[in-house]
Amino acid sequence: MSFSVTVRDHIMIAHSLTGEVFGPAQRLHGATYLVDATFRAAELDADGIVIDIGLASRALETITESLSYRNLDEEPELAGVNTTTERLCQFIGDRLAAEARAGAFGAARLTSIAVTLHESHIAWASYEVAL
Amino acid sequence: MSFSVTVRDHIMIAHSLTGEVFGPAQRLHGATYLVDATFRAAELDADGIVIDIGLASRALETITESLSYRNLDEEPELAGVNTTTERLCQFIGDRLAAEARAGAFGAARLTSIAVTLHESHIAWASYEVAL
Amino acid sequence: MSFSVTVRDHIMIAHSLTGEVFGPAQRLHGATYLVDATFRAAELDADGIVIDIGLASRALETITESLSYRNLDEEPELAGVNTTTERLCQFIGDRLAAEARAGAFGAARLTSIAVTLHESHIAWASYEVAL
Amino acid sequence: MSFSVTVRDHIMIAHSLTGEVFGPAQRLHGATYLVDATFRAAELDADGIVIDIGLASRALETITESLSYRNLDEEPELAGVNTTTERLCQFIGDRLAAEARAGAFGAARLTSIAVTLHESHIAWASYEVAL
Amino acid sequence: MSFSVTVRDHIMIAHSLTGEVFGPAQRLHGATYLVDATFRAAELDADGIVIDIGLASRALETITESLSYRNLDEEPELAGVNTTTERLCQFIGDRLAAEARAGAFGAARLTSIAVTLHESHIAWASYEVAL
Amino acid sequence: MSFSVTVRDHIMIAHSLTGEVFGPAQRLHGATYLVDATFRAAELDADGIVIDIGLASRALETITESLSYRNLDEEPELAGVNTTTERLCQFIGDRLAAEARAGAFGAARLTSIAVTLHESHIAWASYEVAL
């Protein structure tokens, strides 16, 4: 038996990718990423929820606001990171996981956090991390 | 190796939520929930299916019709339930699971049932129960 | 030649409809409405836009926040209004039009405002008003 | 009586916008634009179509490939253009219109071309030009 | 000032297209068409609606049920029709328009009917007819 | 900890289903299937990806092109297969898995492949196979 709650936000960023495999995406280009953050739990709290949807939205928004309208190639936080869709999922997921472990989302009922970034209507990537 | 089939329906309901965490959602308000019911199986039956999509749709519709166009605060079936999106997923999932255990969906091949309720284009919740 | 910009928000409300034609929707129930507000212009301004998307979003949000998490049957603003999807489109569209006429959206280049409310994945309504 | 055919593609670009109204979007950032190109006609041709969907897709793809995976701030074609969503709609729509007027899409039955760019799940812009 | 209501249904059909322009679509193949029927009016009726959404859905369903799970190449109703997406929009739109003119949708307030068929997530066609 | 990448394509096919359970779908009819192929891995490669999205798209496209614009009842490859949505998921998933095992997608980091086919906006099926 398991439960989850997902909230959606988005970011609009510039970046370039390093590696021949990326072809034209090695050039400076950009993306709108729809960002879905999923919080999983084995059971609900006394209010009947995994996490308050408002709280989840604000937690995600704090992260998306720190990334949006930026050139990720020049963000100190991402120095040395090849900002593929997968790596950005991980970056956001790990930040949410760190907050969860620090108790930001109430009692320690959460079992994992997953983040999906849709880079277009025909491609997306996901990352899931256990808590 | 695993298979699943999902069917979608929707309900339009009024309700209020109990608990300070819900802020303005403590007031009487409402929602359209898109309801996705997923049936999982480890293998297919002799017809090559998990469950007939028509049968799955009718099973879901029986439940959604019992909820739709109602004020959930006054439904005897839900008395004492804080009708969060998560709890409604569980309510619908448990009803489908009970039918599955009672043999309504043919041979006992189903391994779990999952229900997702989308409360808007930016928030949804899920529940999964093993059979 | 014409241009438009559309922004999307949503509201979650309770209400009941008056009239036999509405069948079960005469009962108190509710809806999530996805609200799309479209601003049209025959030409762009000096910045190359119809309206700033941020400004358009905030203008829409002011209205959606005044409606969301409410029982529309008890809202003084809507007293005597049968709050069908069409009427709610008109209510929101007329408020945006009034702001446009009052100059809230810059120079008088806007030619019309349209509002679409999606009540589910299978039904929506629209209203358009000339400026 | 009128007909239309629409095809969808997408581009992933970097750019910055000029003008205080754009706030943080004045910084170098980026976007995935879903690009919908609509071809309108008052009547169908002898094959029963407005335009062959394959031909329409290829015409749009020629344009999207010339823009995708680029920093629009450095594209000679767009020098001096503030590449707002509206201006990019116009740029693509005018190129398709030029091809239509040059006879690329068969007999002169087309009455207009419209282009919509979705910059996220909550904001999009459109441009329509008569032929 | 104008209003509209749209309802969505779908059909799953086989067919082939006649004409070299269609390339591989000249072979027997098939499609799921999402079918959107839009009813427009200049003003609302006494109940505050363009058309009852339930009535609109049933009117559309009567037509979709007559087409669905069929090979359109062998349907007497469509004999001699090249069943392009545009022609199918017209077929459905003209049937709805005939019903509207015969008074099936109440008082004669409707000004036009539009039908959109989505043949995939990247291509759709529309037809609009005045009443 | 797990990662995935998903790419979307579509096919338009005719077919009929064998078995009384399918009711009217026993007749020759057709479908547009949106085809989502998901590649999962426990860790990323040196470039920071599960699989290059371009490579994944081309691998899926090779399969979808072999199926599209065809009557599946007459495809030698599918002789004797009841081409339900589930079976088609399995057919595509097993082909991608065979390529993965043959090394087509680089180093042997992939842990499973999943395929989802959406037959309409209200029904879809999935298949997942471990590598």
Each residue's pLDDT tens digit, D3-48:
999 999 999 999 999 999 999 999 999 999 999 999 999 999 999 9
pLDDT at D1: 85
Chains with at least 3 CB pairs less than 8 angstroms from chain C = B, D, E
The token pair that represents F78 in the structure block: 């599918």
Which chain C residue has the Cα nearest residue E44? Answer: C86
**Residue among F71, F93, F55, F95 nearest F11 (CA):** F71
* pLDDT value for A11: 98
All residues of chain D having their beta carbon less than 8 Å from the beta carbon of residue B121 are: 121-122
Q: Which residues of D touch E (CB under 8 A)?
A: 1-9, 44, 47-50, 52-55, 57
How does residue A108 score in pLDDT terms, banded at 50, 70 and 90?
low
Tell me the nearest-neighbour CA distance from B68 into chain F, angstroms.
18
Those residues of chain B whose CB sits closer than 8 Å to some CB in chain C are 8, 10, 12-15, 24-25, 27-34, 68-71, 119-122
- State the residue for tokens 């590649």: F39
In the numeric block, the tokens 């989308």 are attached to B118
Enumerate neighbours of D (3 or more CB pairs within 8 A). A, B, C, E
The whole-number pLDDT of residue C109 equals: 87
Residue B81: CB partners within 8 Å, gap ≥ 6? Answer: A48, B87, B91
Instruction: Give the whole-number percent of chain D exceeding pLDDT 70.
Output: 98
**Which subunits count as partners of chain E given 3+ CB pairs below 8 Å?**
A, C, D, F
Q: What is the pLDDT of residues B53-111, one digit of tens each?
A: 999 999 999 999 999 999 999 999 999 999 999 999 999 999 999 999 999 998 668 99
Which pLDDT belongs to residue C106? 81
DSSP state of A70: E
Residues in B touching D124 (Cβ below 8 Å):
none
**Least Cα separation, residue E115 to chain F (angstroms):** 17
**Chains B and F touch, using 3 or more CB pairs below 8 Å:** yes
What is the percent of chain F with per-residue pLDDT over 70, rounded to a whole number?
Answer: 98
Determine which of A21-30, C106-115, D83-92, E2-11 has the lowest per-residue pLDDT on average: C106-115
pLDDT mean over E5-18 = 98
Residues of chain E contacting residue D107, judged by C-beta atoms under 8 Å apart: none
Report whether pLDDT(A107) > 80: no
Min Cα separation A4/chain B (Å): 5
- Supply the pTM of this predicted model: 0.97
ipTM, 2 dp: 0.96
Cβ pair F2:A121 closer than 8 A: no
Spatial separation of the C-alpha atoms in residues E91 and E79, rounded to whole Å: 12
Q: Compare all CA atoms of chain D with the CA of E118 and give the residue at the minimum distance.
A: D6
pLDDT band of residue D109 (cuts 50, 70, 90) is confident
Contact D122 C52 (CB under 8 A): no
Chains E and F touch (3+ CB pairs under 8 A): yes
Q: How confident is the model at residue C1 (pLDDT cuts 50, 70, 90)?
A: confident
pLDDT score of E106: 80
What number is the average pLDDT over the span C25-45? 97
| Interface residue ranges in chain D relative to chain B, Cβ cutoff 8 Å | 121-122
Task: Please count the other Cβ atoms lying within 10 Å of the Cβ belonging to residue B46.
Answer: 9
* Cβ contact, residue pair A3, B86, below 8 Å: yes
pLDDT by residue (tens digit) across E64-107? Answer: 999 999 999 999 999 999 999 999 999 999 999 999 999 999 86
- Closest Cβ opposite residue D125 in set C1, C4, C55: C4
* Res F125 pLDDT > 80: yes
Concatenating the DSSP letter of every residue in B15-84 gives E---SGGGGGGGSSEEEEEEEEEEEEESS--TTS-SS-HHHHHHHHHHHHHHHTTEEGGG-GGGTT----
For residue F74, give how far its alpha carbon lies from the nearest alpha carbon of chain B (Å): 18
Please give the share of chain F, as a percent, with pLDDT higher than 90.
Answer: 96
Tokens of C111: 């030619």
Q: What is the pLDDT of residue B68?
A: 97
Write the DSSP string, D21-88: GGGGGGSSEEEEEEEEEEEEESS--TTS-SS-HHHHHHHHHHHHHHHTTEEGGG-GGGTT----HHHH
Q: What's the average model confidence in pLDDT over D108-119?
A: 94
Q: CA C18, C23, C28: angle at the middle one, nearest 5? A: 60
CB pairs under 8 A between C and D: 61
Res. A106: pLDDT tops 90? no
Q: How far is CA B64 from the centre of its chain?
A: 8
What was the pLDDT predicted at B1? 86
In this prediction, residue C52 has a pLDDT band, given cuts at 50, 70 and 90, of very high
Instruction: Give the pLDDT of residue D108.
Output: 65
In the predicted structure, residue D107 carries a pLDDT above the cut 80: no
**In the predicted model, what is the mean pLDDT of chain C?**
96
Is residue D71 pLDDT above 80, yes or no?
A: yes
pLDDT digits (tens, 9 = 90+) for F39-69: 999 999 999 999 999 999 999 999 999 999 9
